[in-house]
Amino acid sequence: MEALARTRFVRISPQKLRLVCNLVAGKTVEQALSILQFTPKKGAKVVLKALMAAVANARDQQNIDEDRLFVKRVTADTGPTWKRSLQRAHMHATPIFKRTSHLTVVVDEHVP
């Protein structure tokens, strides 16, 4: 049985978040937790929190043992973009895009 956790409107670009997502996809939960704890990226903290929420959902709602879980899918989708402008010389303006992400973590029970 699958259990998932969603984190929406994360203030990090999807491109940077996908770098961390690719590290843990397909790993067991124990391996993924140890990888994320020692990854020096801003997105690692976000993915770690969502992974722990997905594990808690599996444990509480479906009574699945944590030792048998693996990370089935981790996706970082594009959220809304905040558009700002930076004033430049000679009355010009440069657009600044503050990107957001929607993170989805799905864990499933490993069947030997």
Structurally, how many domains does the chain consist of? Answer: 1
CA distance 67 to 90: 62
Residue 52 phi/psi, 5-degree rounding, is -65, -35
> What is the tens place of the pLDDT at every residue in 86-112?
999 999 999 999 999 999 999 999 876
Hey, CA dihedral for 49, 55, 57, 60, is it positive or negative?
A: negative
**Domain encompassing residue 36:** 3-109
Compute the average pLDDT of residues 64-77: 94
CATH of the domain at 25: 3.90.470.10
pTM of the model: 0.90
